[in-house]
């Protein structure tokens, strides 16, 4: 009792408080670092090979059609050009059609923020409540009556509006323009305003974006459900790209009769409704056909990087082992651990 | 007037929010945050949703507010406790004192405060239970001085009537408006009946917070209450110390700011160029939205906006969270230090206490330790060791250790016969006797006997000489009887002194004294005379009775080693005694020759008397009764003394049977009663005057009237220099001269073995002399203008022409582990300085014994005697370094210069160094000397400053700190170390014997000096290493993250675009990567404790700042640069020309960054405990959990990034995982 009484300030003798917790103290010595080199190289090289093979398996076809009409002036005046395409290899499996843009800064800050997610969510916005982040593409002065633009903002306004008609001989290759947007975007983020069954009425109070040829409710003439904000091409466009050199899905090959295994090799014709101006800002645009793998599109960098890094580790490991063996005679391991830490 | 309620809390429930916010916005960090937030509200600039950007600010403000709230709640609780304390207040209705809460006290109330209770407000003392109208207060709560101070009742305010009737008290009191000057108070009291104004001053005022001591109760009127009390007005907040690491860190923060500005500038210029390129292009508005008016933005303006946008985006580079994190980490470190069981002192039940929270890492960077000696290196448990009386040395074996006897080889034949005698005895006996422990008892006893006898020779009671004669006779018989003792070792030399010789000797000695002394040789009231025969020859014949002396001496030991703290008068026999002695033995033991345990030497007596109100048995005083003489020897008395030396003296006297029994003061006369042992009776000395101690005089005196012959004598005790300089100068007396000479030699020897010395002297005054002086003194007291100076002059006048009686040597033992600690600190590269008030010899000796000075060290002594225009001849020591002008008046001893030096400098010489000694000393000279001193001191292994005043201690430290820019630590235990402790970077207080002042002003409070070793070498090192790595890590982490965003600007046209989702951007630091570094900051151990203690050299890392250099900072930044480049451009190449969305890619980048940054820390972590694992893995999991949940719950929030379902999609792709793996591996590989 007296012990307790006299030592009431005695600190708790616990491992934590006395800083005596069992601890693992990795000491970087040659013995522990050298194996790491080899383990890394052994792990990385095979991964790299696998990735490279996967990437090589992806068949990709690109065609830059920017210059097919040189004196194209604006988005609103359509014209067409015809491009002949030869597919050297067949494209098996799902085939995606992309359009690729270069030097188009979809990641520009002021561009990125020029949208109204609420509006796209299906909320009716009044003239007064349309998001200011869309400015100056938020309101449209229609002969004195000011109407909000639907969809507002620079992103929507600059929506890519070239259309591709891809055909093999006289038969059109069935490329559907649905299934390209993220399912969650389609089902949750993008909703048409009320009444959803009558889009003309739903959008009656809005003005179309100034660069658009058609209002939002009639983006897809072929498929009535693919209209309004729930147009998948629109949704894809609205997901701004990370870099100024990007591609976006245009459509998916519908694997019906004749195309069940993908796109066979051969001669194809691409008819482009050339609307989207890129030469003005020094951009390029491409038409891309590609299959995909579990690793996404064709990209050999990852595989190569794995192999190179693994290889470097291996070489480094061997070098260090030699140095280590040499140094052991003279200065033990201190050199190694210092070299590497 | 306010009530006495005290509120120290900063906030009330209502005012908390606004006030706390206000306080917080005073901090730079928070202002920066708010600035950023506000910037976000500017539409052209805003990079992040303004409301989102507020989140971290709010979180940080919230954390700080909670912390403040806790602190404030603590204050609130103590307030409540204080406010609800009770006191007795007079109610006018029934004229009785009622209990009342402190908070209800009002100005004008009459209160009664009883003994040992705290004074509730500033009270004017009107009445005291003490018939003389005085009371004692302890002011340690206020100024830290633990001695008691006397306060007086307002004189004559109740007229001639000595009773105090509170009800009739109707006076008007005029006083100053409340101020914070503790020692100043003036006022007037105008009695209601129109009497004369009575002036009241500080001596009538009892201050809040003081404690009433030794007075049954006091009554007074409240003058200041609550916040107006002087105590509250003096209550300042704690000091804020900024650690060295923090200072360095701040410079690096500035680098970060510069870096940030550079990056922003690059961004802004880049934006301008990019925008101007684009403005030439017609369709640029496709992705550069125009302004609202439809115009394209001017490139210059755009660039300007861009700058601010970049500031917002890259704000994280300035590690604001670092400040919060550091506070948390330091708090954790302090907690760890506090709970270290190795720093816990069992005996006193004191753990270490960290009082300063923000300088834990400074402990790892100390370069200079300034240590006090007394109580710090030593235990400050004073033990009376030996004394020299009349030129003869007497050892006192308090702890059963063999005392060393000093022989004066060159002393020549002593002139006093008595001395010859005693010396003969001692010298002949000692060499052999002291060797064998089993002969101790006789030896000790003999020594003690002679000591006592000799003490009585010069003690107050000159009349005792006759008794001495009797005593010596008895003893001489006893000595001769040793021969017949059966167990006496054969080699014990026997000296048989002829009785006649002795008699002759004593007589002749008596004859030396003036005849007046003889007249009082046998006054009847002295009981001693009647019994000159006990320790009767018969008892001494018996061996076993002789052996009873041994337990008895044990017993005495016990008494003398009782610590001088609280009053305790219990009849308690030590266990040892009760078992060792049977009643008869006790009987024999308590009846030795009274002379044997004769009268208190003048030492304790004067000590006692001088320390008015400082050393006294308190209980006795309160209860007004004395110990029964017969039992005195079995009482453990605890004396309370101002300094342990004095207590030691009183205890020593007690051990010899002279007991300080009672102190009293009746009717303005103070007296001291001393109980003589065993029916020796009591003597009551009238204390006429007390000349208290002050540091200029370095001595204190008391003037007493001997009750037996009415002689007035001044006894003066003080530092040897102080006494020796005041001795009688017309020294014709050979005897005196001889005494002085021998005493000086002994003093020197005492000093060499590390004893603290005090000289004791006396001066016999004639009535005429006394009354003359008294008159002058009264006049001095009355003088209002320069009273202090006059008083000192008066004291000095009195303390002159002294006659040296002797000196005492008191041992102050080294604390446990001191040499080892000093040795370890040395090896750790820390210079240890000892700064002490002790004399040089003593200090040097302690220095040797605690291995401060090594055997072969060269000791440089800087001791200059003549202060005026003396420049120090450092040249002598360091000719190549100092081409100084040679000056005179200096007394340095030069020796051959070898490698190791040890410098000793004394207070007076320090004065020249510091420029405090002489006002005429020109500043340039001071500077020159100081520079040289510092240069020299640097070259020394160690420096010892002796005879330093408290102020000098602080100034020396400051000098070193300023000149060398080093980290200093001061350690001390007493009030005299406070200045040093406060000046030092780290002040360590030892909770020792001398009160709490040092502790109160310190940053760390330890119980023992030896704890310093672990505190510095282990905790200091750890905390420094931890904090250094944490700070660097924070810089790295933030930089790496910010670089990622910066690189992105190249890709997005310097538009301030941001791929990382806003909330990640903001909470990345706050949540994802915050906990592991904090855990590391508290728990990581780069080297384990045992190694650190074994190899103090490891501490050098901290001294040399090795872990946190400018270089390391930049290396870390480069690391951040490299890693960010790898992360960014690898992922860029991987994801180029894919359909990846902005935020999608940003999420990949963020994930990679989280992995890289966390694993980076993992590599930095030296020891992994389960806590580390939990935090590391937990952080990753938290990141994923957060992003997954956040990405799923909200489809429209946080435009424009709106990361709905991004993470969910991303983690489904193989590309993501393989990219992360690759990037992490490559980014971290160099490490």
**What is the per-residue pLDDT across B1100-1138, written as a single tens digit (0 to 9) for each?**
888 887 777 888 889 999 999 999 999 999 999 999 888
- Burial (CB < 10 A; 0-12, 13-18, 19+), residue B456, is buried
Mean pLDDT value across residues B422-438: 37
Q: What is the pLDDT of residue A101?
A: 92
The neighbour count for residue B1165, using CB atoms within 10 Å, is 24
CA–CA dist B1176, B1168 (Å, integer): 10
The neighbour count for residue B629, using CB atoms within 10 Å, is 19
The SS3 of residue A276 is coil
From chain A, the residues in CB contact with B1052 under 8 A are 105, 107-109, 244
Contact call for A189 and B1195, based on CB within 8 A: yes
Sketch the domain layout of chain A as residue ranges: 61-294
B827 reaches A (C-beta below 8 A): no
Name the minimum distance, in Å, from the CA of B282 to any CA of chain A. 6
- Burial (CB < 10 A; 0-12, 13-18, 19+), residue A24, is exposed
Mutation target among A32, A106, A110 for the B interface, most CBs of B within 10 A? A110
Kindly report, residue by residue over A238-259, the tens digit of the pLDDT: 999 999 899 999 999 988 888 8
pLDDT at residue B320 greater than cutoff 60: yes
Mean pLDDT of chain B: 68
Q: Which residue of A has its CA nearest to B345?
A: A10
Question: Hey, CA dihedral for B846, B851, B856, B858, is it positive or negative?
Answer: negative
Q: Which residue of B has its CA nearest to A250?
A: B1139
When CB atoms are compared, the residue of A105, A136, A313 closest to B294 is A136
Among residues of chain B, what percentage have pLDDT more than 70? 60
From chain A, the residues in CB contact with B278 under 8 A are 281
Name the minimum distance, in Å, from the CA of A286 to any CA of chain B. 11
CA–CA dist A293, A59 (Å, integer): 10
- Up-side HSE of residue A314: CA atoms within 13 Å toward CB? 12
Q: What is the pLDDT of residue B78?
A: 76
Q: Which residues of chain A have pLDDT under 50?
A: 1-5
* Residues 6 or more apart whose Cβ sits within 8 Å of residue B552: B577, B581, B589
The B residues from 1052 to 1091 touching A (CB cutoff 8 Å) are 1052-1053, 1055-1059, 1083, 1085, 1089
The residues of B annotated as belonging to the active site are 372
Q: Which residue of A has its CA nearest to B1193?
A: A188
Kindly report, residue by residue over B915-972, the tens digit of the pLDDT: 655 555 566 666 777 777 777 777 777 888 877 777 778 888 888 888 888 888 888 8
Q: What is the pLDDT of residue B397?
A: 53
Mean pLDDT value across residues B819-827: 85
Query: If we measure between CA atoms, which residue out of B832, B1016, B1055 comes closest to residue B299?
Result: B1055
Name the minimum distance, in Å, from the CA of A285 to any CA of chain B. 12
Rounded to 5°, the CA angle B1223-B1226-B1228 comes to: 105
The A residues from 129 to 168 touching B (CB cutoff 8 Å) are 131-133, 135-137, 153-154, 157-158
Q: Which residue of B has its CA nearest to A302?
A: B1134
Does the annotation place B358 within a ligand binding site?
no
Query: Which residue is listed with tokens 């940054």?
Result: B1157
Does the annotation place B598 within a ligand binding site?
no
Higher pLDDT, B54 or B1145: B1145
| Structural contact between residues B354 and B1004, judged by C-beta atoms closer than 8 angstroms | yes
The B residues from 506 to 545 touching A (CB cutoff 8 Å) are none
**Residues B1199/B1203/B1204/B1206 CA torsion (nearest 10 deg):** 160
3-state DSSP of B1155-1202: HHHHHHHHHHCCCECHHHHHHHHHHHHHHHHHHHHHHHHCCCCCCCCC
Mean pLDDT value across residues B853-860: 68
- Up-side HSE of residue B1212: CA atoms within 13 Å toward CB? 7
Name the minimum distance, in Å, from the CA of B292 to any CA of chain A. 4
CA–CA dist B957, B972 (Å, integer): 13
Instruction: Please provide residue B1094's backbone torsions phi and psi, each rounded to the nearest 5 degrees.
Output: -75, -35
A171 reaches B (C-beta below 8 A): no
Contact call for A189 and B1196, based on CB within 8 A: yes
The B residues from 1091 to 1150 touching A (CB cutoff 8 Å) are 1130, 1132-1142, 1144-1146
Which two three-digit tokens encode residue B887?
């000056």
List Cα–Cα distances, B755 to B655, B739, B843, B906, in angstroms: 19, 20, 9, 18
When CB atoms are compared, the residue of A110, A132, A302 closest to B1218 is A302
3-state DSSP of B1032-1063: HHHHHHHHHHHHHHHHHHHHCCCCCCCCCCHH
Could you give the domains of chain B?
85-233 (2.70.150.10), 322-341+1016-1227 (no CATH), 353-380+812-1006 (3.40.50.1000), 391-546+574-610 (no CATH), 681-810 (3.40.1110.10)
| Structural contact between residues B812 and B380, judged by C-beta atoms closer than 8 angstroms | yes
Mutation target among A5, A108, A185, A239 for the B interface, most CBs of B within 10 A? A108
Q: What is the pLDDT of residue A171?
A: 86
When CB atoms are compared, the residue of B1138, B1195, B1200 closest to A247 is B1138
Name the minimum distance, in Å, from the CA of A3 to any CA of chain B. 10
Contact call for B1134 and A299, based on CB within 8 A: yes
Q: What is the pLDDT of residue A4?
A: 46
Mean pLDDT value across residues B633-650: 57
CA–CA dist B752, B747 (Å, integer): 9
Kindly report, residue by residue over B341-376, the tens digit of the pLDDT: 888 887 777 788 777 777 888 888 888 888 887 777
Q: Which residue of A has its CA nearest to B1141?
A: A241
The neighbour count for residue B713, using CB atoms within 10 Å, is 22
Does the annotation place B756 within a ligand binding site?
yes
| Structural contact between residues A150 and A203, judged by C-beta atoms closer than 8 angstroms | yes
From chain A, the residues in CB contact with B1204 under 8 A are 184-185, 188-189
Instruction: Please provide residue A87's backbone torsions phi and psi, each rounded to the nearest 5 degrees.
Output: -95, 115
Considering the entire predicted model, what is its pTM? 0.72
* Total CB pairs under 8 A between chain A and B: 235
Mean pLDDT value across residues B1163-1172: 86
Query: Which residue is listed with tokens 């109580």?
Result: B375
Contact call for A244 and B1052, based on CB within 8 A: yes
Name the minimum distance, in Å, from the CA of B392 to any CA of chain A. 45
CA–CA dist A18, A12 (Å, integer): 8
Contact call for A302 and B1222, based on CB within 8 A: yes
Contact call for A154 and B285, based on CB within 8 A: yes
Contact call for B1139 and A248, based on CB within 8 A: yes
- Up-side HSE of residue A121: CA atoms within 13 Å toward CB? 12
Contact call for A109 and B1132, based on CB within 8 A: no
| Structural contact between residues B265 and A136, judged by C-beta atoms closer than 8 angstroms | no
When CB atoms are compared, the residue of B292, B1134, B1144 closest to A301 is B1134
When CB atoms are compared, the residue of B287, B1135, B1214 closest to A108 is B287
Question: Hey, CA dihedral for B1155, B1156, B1161, B1167, is it positive or negative?
Answer: positive
Name the minimum distance, in Å, from the CA of A94 to any CA of chain B. 16
Mutation target among A52, A242, A282, A316 for the B interface, most CBs of B within 10 A? A242
Q: What is the pLDDT of residue A143?
A: 81
DSSP per position, B873-908:
-GGGT-TTT--PPP-SS--PBP----S-EEEEEEHH
A116 reaches B (C-beta below 8 A): yes
Q: How confident is the model at residue B773 (pLDDT cuts 50, 70, 90)?
A: confident
A10 reaches B (C-beta below 8 A): yes
Question: Hey, CA dihedral for A128, B40, B48, B268, is it positive or negative?
Answer: positive
Task: Report the side by side order of strands in the sheet with A95-102.
Answer: A60-64, A284-291, A95-102, A246-253, A175-176
Kindly report, residue by residue over B194-225, the tens digit of the pLDDT: 667 777 777 778 887 777 877 778 888 888 87
| Structural contact between residues B1004 and B353, judged by C-beta atoms closer than 8 angstroms | yes
**So what's the ipTM on this one?**
0.91
């Amino acid at each position: 009792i007296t012990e307790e009484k006299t030592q009431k300030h005695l600190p708790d003798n616990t491992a934590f408080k006395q800083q005596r917790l069992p601890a693992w103290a990795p000491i970087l010595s040659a013995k522990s670092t050298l194996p790491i080199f080899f383990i890394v190289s052994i792990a990385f090289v095979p991964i790299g090979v696998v990735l490279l093979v996967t990437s090589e398996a992806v068949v990709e076809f690109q065609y830059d059609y920017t210059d097919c009409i040189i004196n194209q002036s604006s988005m609103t005046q359509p014209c067409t050009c015809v491009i002949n395409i030869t597919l050297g290899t067949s494209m098996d499996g799902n085939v995606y059609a992309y359009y690729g843009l270069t030097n188009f800064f979809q990641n520009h800050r002021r561009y990125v923020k020029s949208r109204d997610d609420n509006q796209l969510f299906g909320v009716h916005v009044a003239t007064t409540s349309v998001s200011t982040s869309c400015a100056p593409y938020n309101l449209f002065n229609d002969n004195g009556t000011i109407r909000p633009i639907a969809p507002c903002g620079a992103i929507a306004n600059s929506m890519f509006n070239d259309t591709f008609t891809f055909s093999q001989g006289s038969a059109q290759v069935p490329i559907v323009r649905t299934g390209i947007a993220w399912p969650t975007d389609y089902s949750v983020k993008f909703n048409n305003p009320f009444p959803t069954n009558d889009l003309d009425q739903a959008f009656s109070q809005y003005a179309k974006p100034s660069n658009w040829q058609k209002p939002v409710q009639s983006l897809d003439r072929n498929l009535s459900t693919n209209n309004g904000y729930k147009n998948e091409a629109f949704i894809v466009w609205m997901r701004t790209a990370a870099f100024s050199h990007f591609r976006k899905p245009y459509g998916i090959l519908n694997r019906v009769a004749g195309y069940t295994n993908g796109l066979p090799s051969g001669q194809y014709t691409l008819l482009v409704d050339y609307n989207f101006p890129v030469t003005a800002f020094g951009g390029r645009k491409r038409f891309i056909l590609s299959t995909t793998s579990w690793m996404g599109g064709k990209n050999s960098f990852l595989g190569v990087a794995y192999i190179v890094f693994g290889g470097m580790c291996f070489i480094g490991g061997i070098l260090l082992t030699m140095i280590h063996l040499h140094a052991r005679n003279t200065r033990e391991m201190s050199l190694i651990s210092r070299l590497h830490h | 007037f306010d009530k006495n309620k005290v509120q120290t809390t900063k906030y009330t429930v209502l005012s908390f929010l606004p006030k706390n916010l206000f306080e917080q916005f005073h901090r730079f960090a928070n202002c920066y945050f708010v600035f950023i937030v506000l910037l976000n509200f500017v539409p052209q600039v805003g990079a992040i949703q303004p409301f989102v950007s507020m989140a971290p600010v709010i979180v940080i403000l919230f954390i700080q507010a909670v912390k403040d709230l806790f602190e404030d709640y603590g204050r609130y609780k103590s307030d409540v406790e204080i406010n609800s304390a009770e006191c007795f207040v007079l109610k006018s209705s029934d004229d009785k004192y009622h209990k009342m809460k402190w908070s209800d006290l009002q100005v004008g109330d009459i209160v009664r405060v009883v003994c040992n209770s705290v004074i509730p407000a500033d009270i004017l003392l009107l009445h005291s239970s003490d018939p003389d109208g005085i009371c004692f207060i302890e002011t340690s709560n206020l100024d830290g001085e633990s001695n008691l101070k006397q306060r007086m009742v307002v004189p004559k305010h109740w007229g001639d009537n000595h009773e105090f009737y509170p009800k009739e008290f109707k006076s008007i009191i005029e006083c100053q408006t409340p101020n914070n000057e503790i020692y100043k108070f003036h006022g007037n009291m105008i009695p209601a009946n129109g009497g004369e104004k009575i002036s009241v001053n500080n001596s009538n005022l009892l201050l809040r917070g003081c404690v009433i001591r030794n007075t049954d109760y006091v009554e007074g009127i409240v003058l200041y209450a609550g916040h107006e009390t002087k105590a509250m007005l003096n209550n300042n907040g704690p000091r804020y110390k900024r650690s060295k690491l923090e200072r360095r860190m701040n410079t690096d923060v500035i680098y970060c700011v510069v870096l940030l500005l550079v990056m922003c500038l690059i961004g802004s210029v880049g934006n301008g160029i990019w925008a101007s390129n684009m403005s030439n292009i017609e369709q640029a508005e496709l992705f550069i939205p125009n302004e609202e008016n439809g115009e394209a933005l001017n490139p210059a303006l755009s660039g300007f906006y861009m700058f601010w946008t970049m500031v917002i985006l890259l704000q994280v580079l300035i590690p604001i969270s670092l400040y919060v994190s550091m506070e948390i980490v330091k708090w954790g470190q302090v907690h760890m230090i506090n709970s270290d069981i190795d720093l816990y002192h069992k005996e006193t039940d004191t753990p270490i206490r960290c009082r300063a929270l923000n300088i834990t890492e400074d402990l790892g960077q100390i370069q200079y330790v300034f240590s006090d000696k007394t109580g710090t290196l030593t235990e400050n448990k004073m033990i009376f060791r030996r004394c020299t009386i009349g030129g003869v040395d007497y050892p006192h074996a308090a702890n059963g250790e063999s005392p060393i006897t000093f022989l004066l080889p060159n002393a020549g034949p002593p002139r006093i016969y008595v001395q010859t005698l005693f010396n003969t005895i001692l010298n002949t006996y000692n060499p052999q006797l002291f060797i064998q422990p089993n002969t101790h008892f006789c030896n000790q006893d003999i020594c003690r006997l002679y000591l006592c006898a000799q003490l009585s020779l010069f003690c107050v009671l000159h009349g005792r000489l006759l008794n001495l004669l009797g005593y010596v006779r008895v003893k001489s018989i006893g000595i001769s009887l040793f021969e017949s003792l059966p167990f006496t070792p054969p080699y014990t030399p026997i000296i048989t002194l002829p009785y006649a010789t002795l008699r002759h000797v004593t007589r002749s000695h008596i004859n030396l004294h003036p005849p007046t002394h003889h007249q009082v040789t046998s006054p009847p009231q002295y009981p001693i005379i009647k019994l000159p025969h006990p320790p009767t020859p018969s008892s001494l014949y018996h061996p076993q009775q002789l052996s009873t002396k041994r337990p008895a001496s044990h017993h005495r030991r016990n008494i003398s080693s009782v610590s001088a703290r609280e009053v305790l008068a219990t009849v308690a026999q030590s266990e040892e005694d009760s078992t060792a002695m049977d009643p008869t033995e006790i009987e024999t033991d308590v009846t030795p020759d009274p002379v044997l345990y004769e009268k208190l030497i003048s030492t304790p007596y004067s000590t006692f008397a001088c320390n008015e109100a400082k050393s006294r048995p308190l209980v006795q005083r309160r209860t007004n009764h004395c110990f029964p003489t017969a039992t005195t020897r079995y009482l453990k008395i605890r004396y309370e003394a101002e300094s342990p030396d004095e207590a030691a003296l009183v205890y020593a006297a007690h051990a010899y049977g002279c007991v300080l029994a009672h102190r009293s003061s009746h009717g303005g006369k103070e007296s001291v009663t001393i109980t003589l042992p065993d029916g020796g009776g009591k003597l009551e000395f009238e204390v006429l005057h007390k000349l208290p101690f002050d540091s200029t005089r370095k001595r204190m005196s008391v003037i007493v009237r001997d009750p037996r012959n009415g002689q007035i004598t001044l006894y003066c005790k003080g530092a040897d220099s102080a006494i020796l300089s005041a001795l009688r100068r017309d020294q014709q007396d050979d005897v005196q001269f001889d005494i002085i000479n021998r005493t000086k030699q002994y003093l020197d020897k005492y000093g060499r073995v590390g004893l603290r010395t005090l000289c004791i002297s006396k001066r016999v005054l004639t009535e005429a002399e006394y009354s003359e002086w008294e008159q002058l003194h009264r006049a001095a007291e009355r003088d209002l203008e320069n009273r202090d100076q006059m008083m000192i002059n008066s004291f000095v006048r009195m303390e002159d022409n002294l006659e040296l009686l002797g000196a005492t040597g008191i041992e102050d033992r080294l604390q446990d582990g001191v040499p080892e600690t000093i040795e370890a600190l040395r090896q750790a590269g820390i210079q240890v300085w000892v700064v002490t008030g002790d004399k040089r010899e003593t200090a040097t000796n302690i220095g040797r014994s605690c291995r401060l000075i090594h055997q072969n060290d060269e000791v440089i002594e800087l001791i200059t005697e003549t202060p005026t225009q003396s420049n120090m001849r450092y040249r002598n020591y360091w000719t190549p370094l100092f081409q100084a002008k040679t000056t005179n008046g200096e007394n340095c001893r030069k020796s051959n210069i070898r490698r190791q030096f040890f410098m000793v400098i004394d207070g007076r010489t320090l004065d020249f160094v510091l420029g405090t000694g002489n006002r005429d000393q020109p500043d340039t000279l001071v500077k020159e000397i100081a520079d040289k001193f510092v240069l020299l001191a640097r070259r020394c292994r160690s420096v010892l400053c002796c005879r330093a005043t408290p102020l000098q201690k602080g100034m020396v430290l400051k000098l070193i700190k300023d000149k060398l820019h080093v980290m200093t630590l001061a350690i001390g235990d007493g009030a005299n170390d406070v200045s040093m402790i406060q000046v030092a970077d780290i002040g360590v207080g030892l909770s020792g014997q001398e009160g709490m002042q040092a502790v109160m002003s310190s940053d760390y409070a330890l119980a023992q000096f030896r704890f310093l070793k672990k505190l510095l070498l282990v905790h200091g090192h750890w905390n420094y290493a931890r904090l250094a790595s944490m700070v660097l890590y924070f810089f790295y982490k933030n930089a790496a993250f910010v670089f990622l965003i910066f690189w992105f600007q190249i890709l997005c046209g310097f538009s301030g675009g941001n791929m990382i989702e806003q909330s990640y951007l903001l909470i990345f630091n706050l949540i994802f990567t915050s906990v592991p570094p904090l855990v590391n900051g508290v728990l990581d151990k780069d080297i384990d404790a045992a190694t650190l203690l074994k190899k103090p050299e490891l501490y050098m890392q901290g001294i040399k700042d090795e872990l946190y250099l400018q270089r390391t900072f930049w290396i870390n930044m480069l690391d951040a640069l490299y890693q960010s480049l790898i992360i960014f451009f690898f992922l860029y190449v991987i994801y180029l020309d894919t359909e990846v969305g902005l935020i999608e890619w940003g999420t990949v980048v963020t994930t990679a960054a989280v992995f890289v940054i966390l694993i980076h820390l993992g590599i930095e972590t030296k020891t992994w405990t389960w806590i580390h694992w939990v935090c590391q893995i937990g952080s990753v999991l938290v990141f994923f959990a957060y992003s997954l949940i956040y990405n799923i719950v909200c489809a429209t929030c946080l435009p424009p990034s709106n990361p709905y379902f991004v993470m969910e999609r991303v983690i489904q792709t193989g590309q993501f995982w393989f990219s992360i793996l690759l990037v992490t591996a490559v980014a971290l590989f160099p490490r």
